[in-house]
Structure 1
Amino acid sequence: MFVTCPTNFLVLNLFDFTLRFKGFPIEEATRHLNEIQSLSDDAFANSLEKRKQDIVHFHLNNNAFYTDLVRGINPKDWNSIPVLTKSDLQQPLEKRLSNGVSKKKVYINKTSGSGGHPFTFAKDKFTHALTWAMIQNRFSWHGINLKKSFQARFYGIPLDFVGYQKERLKDSLSNRYRFPIFDLSEEKLEQFFQKFIKMPFDYINGYTSSIVLFAKFLQHKNVILKDVCPTLKVCMVTSEMLFESDKKLLEAWLGVPIVNEYGASELDLIAYTDTNDDFIVNSETLFVEILDENNRPVPKGKVGRIVITSLYNKAHPFIRYDIGDWGSFNPNGTLKKPILKSLTGRTNDVALLPNGKKVPGLTFYYVTKSIIEDNSNVTEFVVVQTKTDAFEITYTSRIPLRKKEKEDIKNALEKYLGTGLNLTLNRVETLDRSRRGKLKQFTTLVNE
């Protein structure tokens, strides 16, 4: 039987000890992050330019994979540097590591593959320590101490016995209690609710869709979570799109501020909501660009491809790396403090319509969502494009959709996207989630 809420002393020492034991210099990384944050705007601009040039020169001189990929470039002309794609990285890790880098001396992990191109990546230990320093820094904006605060974790979990027990032990030693999200039935959500009554959680962290479903459960019970768990301070959602309507629902029924987290395991924390509700981009360890189809920067406010450079990773190059998402910058942001205005989905989730028009797949989800959830009957749904003119909406609900509701959905799609679309609606008990517990809101099965 695991202890669900260990003492702060144990967590504090375990967190620091584990990072140090594995060779991640967390104290050095934290000091460096503080130094970057303390720079004036002019000094920051100079520092950023130097770090961009330094990382390019390092990989040109020390990484054969990157040198071959960008042979002949002028590193001083940033916009001439080729954009790195995920498909470029789908080759053995050994071929992509920098000279003299041993797999035993770096942090290695694998991307989730949600963008369609999974691959293994590496970070040098200082870069990975910087990631942890960034997380601690951003959490502190909302009064959360990663070493002490008690987390309600809405995540997936390995289903094999050894993996399950290992993850539960890790949770108990990391001051968090996990709510596995593969079973989100009414009975299971009621069990979740009872845990919040009994446990002094400081914050919620986890996949957006699962927490939204829990909020709908609370709405159905007509109970605000903060009223039964007064220690709760904030909810942090991650890994999936956060729509404005869902954010309002979460705020209303959780009773705490909602923080949006956007990150990538191969890079770092990319953007994080501050206390003013601005989606602040990580300019300390990353250089984030938004580019058009010709790999040129777009004006602030215009949507483009999100392309990111890891400014410190010497084990593996991520220079002008197309992460596979679309977004736009807020015109009010600065070089030192960029603000993400919008995050509009993945570039591979593009729907090709019969008239030849291309639209972001989440457009279908967003338009449908505005109709399908008006009466709070539908709890979750996903959209799949099966042909250029055919879409399937699979949903869970307390009662089946009525004929008029189905007609309203079809009319909404035609209003925004054109006529001649065939729509099928399938009601199910539960929606299938990925192995990690994520819910993919839109999928297209159509190739160009």
Structure 2
Amino acid sequence: MDFVSTMPGLHWPALPGPRAIMRLGLLHQFAATQWWPAERLASMQLRQLAELVAHARKHSPYYARTLAHLPAQLDESAWRSIPVLKRDTVQEEKAALRSTHCPQAHGGRETIFSSGSTGKPIAVEQTTLTQLFWEAFTLRDHEWHARDVAGKLCSIRFFPDGSAAPPQGGRGPNWGSATADLVRTGPVAMLDVRSSVDQQIAWLEREQPEYLLTHPTILDTLLRTLEDGRPLRLERLREVRTVSEALPEGLRERCRQLLGVSLTDIYSTRETGYLALQCPEHDHYHLQAENARIEILDAGGQPCGPGDIGRVVVTPLHNFAFPLLRYEVGDYAEVGEPCPCGRGLPVIRRILGRQRNMLRLPDGRCHWPILNYKAMNTIVPLRQLRMIQVELERIEVDIVTTHRPDEATELRLGEEIQRNLGYPFKLEFHYVDAIPRSVGGKFEDFMSRVA
């Protein structure tokens, strides 16, 4: 790696800036803690949780009220007595959950918006410290999978600011904040996820990436075009990385067969950070125990064993601005056996419950619908939203909101939805008290009934 030096006159060995050095310090610790036994990891998590709980009880009105029963000494029994935090509660108790005080050394606060897999948008706060951990785990992911960051990265994702509009897409100065002030990276090219398959293929062949970052549904569509006989020549491609959706069975193998490269998946959420990274030696995932305590719970609230599927409950360890204790993210995961690689980080075999249906456009294009919840929430206070494409040009929009909008406001909301979907669909708004889950316990915030 070509490290960046901020010390005048010092080019080699490089001396990066203070924030980059902190990331390297965390990465150095991660190199040791990944080999700890599960019991030691759990013990250190509990030690950190005791600090977080004490802070939450003192500075968060919600936890001052709900954690009054906890003993002074936090143990596993006391921890599991804390009720699971539902997404509805985060919406309703946002002001009370927010800490009235955060340690100054944790840095400034930033509001993060997330829709998750539930269709219930929430807004939480994070700090400069939580962003530092996000960047350090990004470095771990690069290190685990031996990426050459000097290579070219191409990303097909959602860019709400229009910076990656098709057909040309956009450019980035580096691989992101995790590497920007640490190492010199290769170029970055970006294309909005709402581009057509034809545009994506032409763009990829023009850009010729060494690394591709995208959503599983986008990759699946690209692979289908190859299976249909259309060529896609990516002669320099070394790895595909997927984010934001559950990975369908068989996609890894199809990627290996059709593109000749491995697929590496990442499990994270906007509000909780990195949850699991794919093992560098196997296709399953290691929970990032240094970032969050992650519980996989059955219907009765008990921990699942290997082979069992349960709901994912997360506690970020370092967010003192907006503590989320035992927060149910809305996903399901299958617990795995201890990993043969020797790492003590807990294993999950697969993540379920995050994949959305594809939107069908009248011109034959399909893409994964991503809505800008941050923008919509400034128009109408959304509690829950679901869209059903009932006909090729007609979409029903179910909304749960605290205040039903007037006609002009509804028109603005419709325009925002149409802008994100990339087509002036006829929208039919229905204001309801609640949107139920399916028989299987899943919730899809977008469904298409168009063949």
Would you say the 8 A contact 2:265–2:277 is kept in 1? Answer: yes
Aligned position for 1:239: 244
Aligned position for 1:289: 295
Counterpart amino acid of residue 117 in structure 1: K
Aligned position for 2:100: 99
| SS of corresponding position for 1:342 | strand
CA deviations on 1:303-354 (whole Å, 9 max, x unpaired) are 11111111222111121110101112113359932111232215xx9xxxxx
Would you say the 8 A contact 2:240–2:261 is kept in 1? Answer: yes
Distance in 2 of aligned mates of 1:163 and 1:250: 25
Tell me how many residue pairs correspond in the alignment: 353
* More RCO (CA 8 Å, sep 6+): 2
Structure 1 residues 60 and 323, CA, compared in 2 at 3 Å: closer, same or farther? same
Structure 1 residue ranges without an equivalent (≥5): 1-6, 350-361, 366-377, 383-390, 396-431
CA deviations on 1:346-404 (whole Å, 9 max, x unpaired) are 5xx9xxxxxxxxxxxx9xx8xxxxxxxxxxxx99699xxxxxxxx98989xxxxxxxxx
> How do residues 25-44 of structure 1 correspond to structure 2 at under 5 angstroms?
25-34=22-31, 36-37=33-34, 39=36, 43-44=40-41
Matched, 1:192 2:194: no
> How do residues 78-227 of structure 1 correspond to structure 2 at under 5 angstroms?
78-91=79-92, 94-101=95-102, 105-145=108-148, 148-158=150-160, 171-174=172-175, 175-186=187-198, 188-196=199-207, 199=208, 201-221=209-229, 223=231
Matched, 1:327 2:333: yes
Structure 1 residues 328 and 139, CA, compared in 2 at 3 Å: closer, same or farther? same
CA deviations on 1:226-284 (whole Å, 9 max, x unpaired) are xx434321111111121123332222222100111111011111112223222222112
Structure 1 residues 332 and 133, CA, compared in 2 at 3 Å: closer, same or farther? same
2:271 to 250, 256, 266: 266
Counterpart amino acid of residue 152 in structure 1: C
Kindly state the Cα deviation for residue 61 of structure 1 after the two structures are TM-superposed: 2.6
Aligned position for 1:402: none
Counterpart amino acid of residue 96 in structure 1: L
Would you say the 8 A contact 2:164–2:170 is kept in 1? Answer: no
CA deviations on 1:141-181 (whole Å, 9 max, x unpaired) are 222255x3321101122365x7969x977624443111222
CA deviations on 1:92-146 (whole Å, 9 max, x unpaired) are 7554322323898123321135422211112232222011101110122222255
> How do residues 239-388 of structure 1 correspond to structure 2 at under 5 angstroms?
239-274=244-279, 275-333=281-339, 336-345=344-353
Would you say the 8 A contact 1:281–1:340 is kept in 2? Answer: yes
Structure 1 residues 193 and 37, CA, compared in 2 at 3 Å: closer, same or farther? closer
Would you say the 8 A contact 1:309–1:319 is kept in 2? Answer: yes
Structure 1 residues 202 and 143, CA, compared in 2 at 3 Å: closer, same or farther? farther
Would you say the 8 A contact 2:27–2:139 is kept in 1? Answer: no
Distance in 1 of aligned mates of 2:148 and 2:389: 43
Structure 1 residues 231 and 140, CA, compared in 2 at 3 Å: closer, same or farther? farther
Would you say the 8 A contact 1:123–1:313 is kept in 2? Answer: yes
Distance in 2 of aligned mates of 1:297 and 1:278: 19
| SS of corresponding position for 2:214 | strand
Would you say the 8 A contact 2:5–2:16 is kept in 1? Answer: no
Aligned position for 1:71: 68
Distance in 1 of aligned mates of 2:194 and 2:117: 17
Distance in 2 of aligned mates of 1:328 and 1:318: 22
Distance in 1 of aligned mates of 2:171 and 2:314: 31
Counterpart amino acid of residue 143 in structure 2: S
Structure 1 residues 394 and 65, CA, compared in 2 at 3 Å: closer, same or farther? same
| SS of corresponding position for 1:307 | strand
Distance in 2 of aligned mates of 1:394 and 1:273: 38
More displaced, 41-50 or 307-316? 41-50
> Which protein has the bigger helix share?
1
Structure 1 residues 254 and 436, CA, compared in 2 at 3 Å: closer, same or farther? farther
Distance in 2 of aligned mates of 1:12 and 1:111: 35
CA RMSD, 1 decimal: 4.2
| SS of corresponding position for 1:261 | strand
Distance in 1 of aligned mates of 2:256 and 2:336: 23
| SS of corresponding position for 2:250 | helix
Would you say the 8 A contact 1:216–1:379 is kept in 2? Answer: no
Query: TM-score, normalised on structure 1?
Result: 0.66
Kindly state the Cα deviation for residue 444 of structure 1 after the two structures are TM-superposed: 7.7
| SS of corresponding position for 1:327 | strand
Distance in 1 of aligned mates of 2:3 and 2:50: 42
Distance in 2 of aligned mates of 1:247 and 1:325: 21
Would you say the 8 A contact 2:124–2:271 is kept in 1? Answer: yes
Query: TM-score, normalised on structure 2?
Result: 0.66
Counterpart amino acid of residue 133 in structure 2: L
Structure 1 residues 243 and 143, CA, compared in 2 at 3 Å: closer, same or farther? same
Matched, 1:51 2:51: no
